[in-house]
């Protein structure tokens, strides 16, 4: 078994329409990869499929992690295997207190029992690290949160649950440049704290967040439901400068895509 998240020929449909048309992608543990692509290329479908949203129907292929095809597992089982998804649109769950919820999630993911007081100390420490207001703890989960607060709350959950592999679905979208920096810094910190053991798949439309990610190992580009190009981090800047249309035409000319 390889120490990586390995996606093989993944085909996924939503409401009967095929969105992913054979995705192949390998992200080794200990590496930070970016997945870029134009809107509608299937990036978010891939993210949601990796954690098992029931709306996404797997037609073919597999996603291997720790020797298992995770596509056969329920979302909570995937989380217990160390996978995490930072949502593009975090869900509001009224009345569910963030601190209590994270306490439950922490215990199930880690398979330990820990008193709430002791857990709160961990939580406060993570909040300090991410410069998050302590009043967050007592609030309803994403209830009445601004867009920026929701994204920060995702980062906080990731920091607390300490996954081995995190899929970040356009966490940078809708944030101003300070917000983007905070997210990037958090990724860098968590990566560092894991001793370079964590894996990341950072899904984004824009390259600006990638400029702050250290280290960024690879950039993949997705178009029309397939990964069409994988390259070094310099690709992100090139895309920023020339746009996806440029790449699409280039690849067509090369006969790489139809």
Partner 1 sequence: MAELVLPMQISKEALEFIIERNGEPVWVQELRYKAWDVFEQTPMPTPKDEEWRRTDLKAFRLTEYLPISLPNYDGVSSLDVLPNELQVFLHPGSEEGNVAGLLVHHGSKAVYRWLSDEVERKGVIFTDIATALREHSDLLNGRLHQLVLPSENKFVALHAALMNSGAFVYVPPRVRLELPLHLFFWLDAERSSLFDHLLIVADRESEVIVMAHYASPQGEFSALSSGAVEIFAEPSSQVYFISLQEWGNRVYDFHFVRANIRRDAYMRWVLTAFGGKLWRVNCHSKLVELGASTDMLGMSVGSGIQQFDHHTFQEHVAPQCKSDLLFKVVLMDRASSIYRGLIKVHKNAQGTDAYQANRNLLLSPKAKADSMPLLEIEANEVRCTHGATIGRVDEHQLFYLMSRGIARRQAEKIIVDGFLRPVIDKVPVQWFGEKMQELLDAKMLEEAKRLGYA
Residues that bind partner 1 in the complex, under the rule CB under 8 A: 51-55, 74-76, 78-80, 84-85, 87, 90-91, 93-97, 101, 104-105, 108-109, 140-141, 157, 161
- Residue 76 or 133: the one with the smaller Cβ distance to partner 1 is 76
- Residue 104 or 177: the one with the smaller Cβ distance to partner 1 is 104
123's CB contacts (< 8 A; 6+ apart) are 99, 102, 137, 160
Q: State the nearest-atom distance from the C-beta of 9 to partner 1, in Å.
A: 24
- Residue 26 or 105: the one with the smaller Cβ distance to partner 1 is 105
CA distances from 81 to 51, 160, 162, 163 (A): 11, 15, 11, 8
Q: Which helix (H) or strand (E) holds 108?
A: helix 98-110
Q: Which residues lie across from 57 on neighbouring strands?
A: 13
246's CB contacts (< 8 A; 6+ apart) are none
Q: State the nearest-atom distance from the C-beta of 244 to partner 1, in Å.
A: 29
SS (H, E, C) 163-190: CCEEEEECCCCCCCHHHHHHHHHHHHHH
- Residue 101 or 244: the one with the smaller Cβ distance to partner 1 is 101
Q: State the nearest-atom distance from the C-beta of 193 to partner 1, in Å.
A: 20
Per DSSP, the three-state class of 142 is coil
Measured distance CA(240)–CA(206) in Å, rounded: 7
Q: State the nearest-atom distance from the C-beta of 94 to partner 1, in Å.
A: 6
- Residue 55 or 242: the one with the smaller Cβ distance to partner 1 is 55
Q: State the nearest-atom distance from the C-beta of 120 to partner 1, in Å.
A: 18
């Amino acid at each position: 078994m390889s120490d990586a998240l390995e996606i093989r020929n993944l085909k996924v449909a939503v409401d009967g329409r095929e969105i992913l048309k054979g995705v192949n992608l390998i992200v080794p543990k200990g590496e930070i990869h970016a997945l870029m692509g134009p809107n509608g290329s299937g990036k978010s479908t891939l993210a949601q499929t990796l954690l098992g949203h029931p709306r996404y129907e797997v037609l073919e292929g597999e996603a291997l992690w720790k020797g298992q095809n995770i596509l056969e597992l329920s979302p909570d089982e995937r989380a217990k295997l160390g996978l995490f998804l930072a949502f593009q649109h975090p869900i509001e769950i009224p009345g569910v207190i963030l601190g209590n919820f994270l306490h439950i999630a922490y215990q199930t993911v880690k398979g330990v029992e820990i008193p709430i007081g002791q857990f709160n100390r961990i939580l406060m420490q993570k909040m300090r690290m991410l410069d998050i207001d302590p009043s967050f703890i007592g609030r309803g989960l994403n209830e009445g949160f601004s867009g920026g607060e929701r994204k920060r709350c995702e980062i906080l959950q990731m920091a607390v649950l300490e996954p081995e592999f995190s899929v970040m679905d356009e966490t940078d979208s809708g944030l101003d440049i300070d917000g983007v920096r905070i997210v990037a810094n958090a990724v860098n910190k968590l990566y560092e704290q894991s001793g370079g053991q964590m894996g990341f798949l950072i899904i984004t439309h824009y390259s600006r967040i990638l400029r702050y990610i250290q280290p960024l190992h690879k950039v993949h580009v997705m178009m029309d439901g397939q990964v069409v190009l994988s390259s070094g981090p310099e690709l992100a800047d090139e895309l920023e400068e020339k746009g996806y249309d440029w790449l699409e035409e280039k690849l067509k000319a090369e006969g790489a895509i139809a």
